[in-house]
Each structure stands twice: as structure tokens, then as C-alpha cells.
Structure 1
């Protein structure tokens, strides 16, 4: 369950392929994140400016935030990177509403893996948030290599993603 644009949204369980992509990205990120950061799947992030509660497929946040006691939510603004893997049930939210929400929250990097893009499977890396928009840092087909900038400084090999 998520809250997107103030509306409660219930999405079906992710496919096995969806989870496989998330796992591959998560493993790669663990090779490069600082020791005191974690890479989490489905971590609830509050996006107050958009009346939102998002559960990104991947979120990189400082581990100290998870030791904050009785807190139930982490502000999206505390994430260093979020990633969404588009499914039929989440396409509009991932491509439009969450893109704007993460940008408004100031999340430095948004990775969108979209195997359902009309022109074929794509991977897009957004950065430099400004208001509700991002600059596209990289846009290519699944199968290409995606270079993540500092603080990650790594290459994602997307050839094993659906369509790659």
C-alpha cells in the first residue's frame, strides 16, 4: 500500500523478474555505498509535500535513520537514491507522480527501470532535482551500461534486466 497524491494505492505483488532486477541493483549498490548506508527494498518514505507515502523498490539511506527508535517513517528527503521498477500496476505513478514527488523532496538520484516503456525497455537516471522536476542524467535501453555518479561511482550492467 502506498499513498500517491493523497490517494491510497494498493498494488499487486511484484513479479519474480521484478524482484530479480531489484536484487541485482541492490547487490551492485552494496559494493559502493559507505559502510554506514543501507540499500533497502520497499522501505516506506514519507513525501509530505505531495501527501505521499511511497515504498520504492530500492532506497539508499543512512543506516542511522533506521535506528531512530519508534519512528515509523523516513522522510524521502533523507534518501540518497531511490529506484522504481515499473510494472503495469505502477507505471503512471512511477513515471509521473513519484518522479515529481522524489524531485520535490530533493532526492539526489532517481533510477527508473521501465520494461514496459512504449519504445521498448528503458533505464533512466534522473538527478539534480529542481522543484518537481529532474534533469535526465542518462536515458537508454535496457541492456546498456548506466554509470551512477558520485557518491556511488559505479556502473550498472543492465543486460540481465528484462529486455536487456
Structure 2
């Protein structure tokens, strides 16, 4: 993961987000890489390991089983965490398809994270800490109802944790952690169970 910090004077406090968003829109990122905005930095995230993609694919397949017609699952969709002016590109985002359909086709703007019903992050060695801390707090602050963290590098062993009931203070009231090998139930509107024993480690 590489990062470039905005130097003092390049953007005033009131306009730094517009400046960073313009850079993000115009950035020519190598194929498979993702650009995120985090704490005045543009962060380039390299392509993940095959197991990372395999887990995301299995989660997506399970989510589609009972997904209502008005929702869709998006891969590598930029989401803006407005309370913190951060921009992340999660592995999976579930949100109403009408919001995507209504987006301006001429402008590559991120979607509002507050509109997501579920955000899924699968950790990589280089970003596991950010997924557990920064992104956890950011998604809670944005009011994302469900955050699914699939952490192959947890010190307790590989874990999948569903966080629900976000607080404005950047925490979730409820967490449901399960080790790989145990099922994890996802509530409505998904109404499905993740079979974590299918996840590659």
C-alpha cells in the first residue's frame, strides 16, 4: 500500500475534500489497484491475494440467494464517509440499485456510505489493521447498518464478524464473531447464512 499526503498550502481546510476528490476522479490507477482517501492522503491499495477474492466471491454468491430485487451487490464501488470526509473502496457494498442507476454517468463520484445496507471488507496482510479500526469506526459513523469484517489474520485465528447497530461515536453496539468453520447468520433483508468453512485460508 502506498500513500501520498496533500502538502500544506495545496488545499485550504474548507476545500481540501474537493481537491482530493478531483485527484481521485482523475487518477490513472493500475488495473486491479484501488485508490482511497484517508486522513489527507491518497492511498493506493494493490490487487488482493486470490484467497481474498475467493472469499468475496463466496460471500457474494450467498448474499444473492435471497436478495430483494431493489438491492444490488457492487464490487469496488467508491463510498464517501461524509462525517469524516474519507473515501473507501470496500470489497462488496450492498445498496439500492436505484441510487446507482440515478448517478451522473459523466462524473465518477463516490456513493454516500450512509446509503449502504451492508459493507464487506476482507482483510489482507497489509490492510487488516485499517479494516479493524479506521474503517470499522468510519462505517459506524456513516450509519452503515451492517459491517461484515472477514479477517483471515485475526490473532485468535481466522474470523468473520458481523457488526450491527451503528453509533455516532464510531462504534457498533452489537458484534457477532465466529471462527472460520462456524456458520454466520445474516439478518433480513439477506436472510442467509455464510458457511465460513468454505472460505480459503
Q: So what's the TM-score if we normalise by structure 1?
A: 0.94
Out of 99, 107, 112, which is 1:75 matched to?
A: 112
Give the unaligned 5+ runs of structure 2: 1-34
**Aligned ranges for residues 7-156 of structure 1 at < 5 Å?**
7-70=41-104, 72-131=109-168, 132-156=170-194
How large is the RMSD of aligned CA atoms in angstroms? Answer: 1.2
Give the Å deviation of 1:46.
0.6
Q: What is the total number of aligned residue pairs between the two structures?
A: 163
Shift of 1:152: 1.4
SS at match of 1:150: coil
- Could you give the per-residue CA deviations for residues 13-34 of structure 1, whole angstroms, max 9, x where no partner exists? 1111111110110111111111
Counterpart pick for 2:196 among 140, 151, 158? 158
Alpha-carbon distance in structure 2 between the residues aligned to 1:102 and 1:68: 23
Greater CA radius of gyration, 1 or 2?
Answer: 2
Q: Is the 8 A contact 1:124 1:136 kept in 2?
A: no
Measured after TM superposition, the shift of residue 79 of structure 1 is 0.2
Structure 1: gaps (5+ residues): none
Q: Is the 8 A contact 2:54 2:200 kept in 1?
A: no
